[in-house]
Structure 1
Amino acid sequence: MKRGMIVIGALIAASAPAHSESDPLLQPIAPEKAREWLTPQDPVRVFGNTYLVGFGGLNIVLIRTDDGLVLLDGGLPQGVPQVEANIRRLGLELSDVKLILSTEPHYDHSGGLAALARDTGAPVLAGERAAATLRRGRSGPDDPQVAWLPPFPPVEQVRIVGDREQIRLGDVTITALATPGHTPGSMSWTWRSCESGRCADVVFAASLNPLAAEGYRFSAPANRAETARFRQTFDKLRSLSCDILLTTHPAASQGDVKLARLQQEREPNPFLDPQACADYADTYERALVKRLAEEAGAGGP
């Protein structure tokens, strides 16, 4: 076994319990935003072994391997029944999910992780800084948006993975990519997918938007190390082999437009774009530069 690689064998997964309105792990969070994010969407194969099983405004990704399924992100708690229904609509079972990977420890991406982990029996994997947030169900003071963020159901068992660490399930190897900035613990993930004799490197990228609640300054002396890491994230994404980009919020990378085109015609596949990761990084690096300029104009740190 290579150093830095986690090999996951078949796990014993619990069968999904019946959901009820009183289920504490499914209680709605941010219902106004949820109406925007949780627009119903049919499950769809993007390319090869890679599927979308989420919503119009929130991507949940599924990877099919020859030894089970990998689910990426959990969405909001109230969206979990729809995610699970979409998995079943593909002819798959929740017990087939062997791993759940987390991108960013905010309620809109992590709020459903506890319920999905319970219903599938699969472990949740996240970066070290994200793992602490997932376990307590609340962001810490180092998150630029902490003042805006409601708590979410804590995830009891989280396995920590490091930057560039590889996770293998069956015939698929997934690499973890620490991409801090939008949150200190953000993690993106990349793997290889093949279809009709063509293979592509897929990246599921965490958000890069430099959003911050009132009072937080990216340029403040206490935050300069975090801002430097944010800039390193842009460089990392530009350096990746990236044929297909999927983002946590599809509109952040025109994923909603691409999906609409894919649903009309699969060839040429609109998600195949080797410039997508670089464009994504460039867009949000400009947003960070603008934010820093605004902070300077408002009187500096």
Structure 2
Amino acid sequence: MRNWMGVGISMAAMFLGGPAWTKAADDPLLRPIALASSKRWLAPQAPIRLHGQTYLVGFGGLNVALIRTSAGLILIDGAVPQAVRDVEANIRALGFSIRDVKLILSTEPHFDHAGGLAALARDSGATVVASAPAAAVLRTGGIDPADPQAAWLEHFPAVRRLRAVKDGEEIRLGDTVITAVATPGHTMGSMSWRWKSCEGRQCATMIFGSSLNPIAADGYAFSDPAHRPVVDAFRATFAKVGAMDCDLLITAHPDPADPAKLARLRAKRVPNAFIDPTACRRYADRAVGMLDKKLAAEGETRSCSRGQ
């Protein structure tokens, strides 16, 4: 099923000739954005079967997941526009085709995760699935002015074929059921995704988690009373994620420990280096600490300002 020669060709192209988009004719849906950040996010990474019928087809700094079902493929997230051809090459390297993708699930309407969705949906014919608040942004490729990062964000190609889902709604494709898990905060439309993956008789609860990072553009204060709904959303999400049934966590941006885990998984599949029932709780706990630290720093800044 795996075409490892294809992997080699794809990786060689990345290292020797740069990403595929540098050689392609101009395509409005593939025009590069956020070039400086993308150099860091798009570190080449060979595709790998993570567990059961779940694969990673993304990059060192951006996760893109692929799930094989009895009725086609499901992709989770789309990276930036200039990464699309390399995502598609990684899918081919596993023995699949982009045309096998029937659904594309979106975690958040930020350009680094949603920028490639329009091109991937066009090339595959798939429907993009997102929360209603996220879908409203994806339809325009725009920016939510209430987003804590609004001043930093970039526009991206608008997504046309969309399906909005609610928290707890089940998405079915063939023998696979994926549950939408609303995780607002980083964006108010952020959505995580949960499904079961089995290897023989051993099954795991898989989570593709949206970002929980309480990051904001300069001048935005989470401690501003007007932003209390965002802080409340973060707190509720942290509690939800921390309590999740979660055997294997994939985060939108890889954890710093993931490269070492991938190396161990490539060398030895049993035990699976990514299986960790404490992963979601630890992911939430780190985010709690980050938000508390940010609120404390904002409080100190206000105190100093008043003292002056």
Alignment pair present for 1:239 and 2:231: no
Q: What is the CA distance between 1:158 and its match in structure 2?
A: 1.5
What is the 5 A alignment of 1:107-146? 107-146=111-150
Normalization by structure 1: what TM-score? 0.91
For residues 33 and 260 of structure 1, what CA distance do their matches in structure 2 show?
24
**Would you say the 8 A contact 1:136–1:154 is kept in 2?**
yes
Cα displacement string for residues 124-172 of structure 1 (whole angstroms, at most 9, x for unaligned residues) = 0100111111111122111100100111111112110000110010111
What code does the residue aligned with 2:258 have? G
Alignment pair present for 1:293 and 2:296: yes
2:15 aligns to what? none
Alignment equivalent of 1:266, drawn from 266, 269, 273: 269
For residues 224 and 92 of structure 1, what CA distance do their matches in structure 2 show?
45
1:12 aligns to what? none
What code does the residue aligned with 1:266 have? R
Q: 3-state SS of the aligned residue for 2:29?
A: helix
Length, aligned pairs only: 282
Alignment pair present for 1:220 and 2:227: no
What is the 5 A alignment of 1:165-184? 165-184=169-188
For residues 134 and 185 of structure 2, what CA distance do their matches in structure 1 show?
12
Q: What is the CA distance between 1:197 and its match in structure 2?
A: 1.4
Alignment equivalent of 2:260, drawn from 233, 241, 257: 257
Q: 3-state SS of the aligned residue for 1:189?
A: strand
What code does the residue aligned with 2:285 have? D
Provide structure 1 residue ranges, at least 5 long, that are not aligned to the other structure.
1-18
Flag the structure with more relative contact order, 1 or 2, with Cα contacts below 8 A and sequence separation at least 6: 1
2:167 aligns to what? 163
For residues 263 and 114 of structure 2, what CA distance do their matches in structure 1 show?
26
Alignment equivalent of 1:278, drawn from 275, 278, 281: 281
CA RMSD of aligned residues (A): 1.3
Alignment equivalent of 1:106, drawn from 86, 105, 110: 110
For residues 176 and 138 of structure 2, what CA distance do their matches in structure 1 show?
25
Alignment equivalent of 1:248, drawn from 228, 247, 252: 252
For residues 260 and 295 of structure 1, what CA distance do their matches in structure 2 show?
40
Q: What is the CA distance between 1:47 and its match in structure 2?
A: 0.4
**Would you say the 8 A contact 1:61–1:72 is kept in 2?**
yes
For residues 212 and 263 of structure 2, what CA distance do their matches in structure 1 show?
23
Identity, % of aligned positions:
57
**Would you say the 8 A contact 1:247–1:255 is kept in 2?**
no
What code does the residue aligned with 1:129 have? P
For residues 227 and 280 of structure 1, what CA distance do their matches in structure 2 show?
17
Q: What is the CA distance between 1:22 and its match in structure 2?
A: 0.7
Q: 3-state SS of the aligned residue for 1:298?
A: helix
Structure having the higher helix fraction is 2
1:187 aligns to what? 191
Alignment equivalent of 1:45, drawn from 23, 43, 49: 49
Q: What is the CA distance between 1:264 and its match in structure 2?
A: 2.0
Provide structure 2 residue ranges, at least 5 long, that are not aligned to the other structure.
1-22
Q: What is the CA distance between 1:95 and its match in structure 2?
A: 1.5
Q: What is the CA distance between 1:94 and its match in structure 2?
A: 1.4
What is the 5 A alignment of 1:141-152? 141-152=145-156
For residues 282 and 139 of structure 1, what CA distance do their matches in structure 2 show?
29
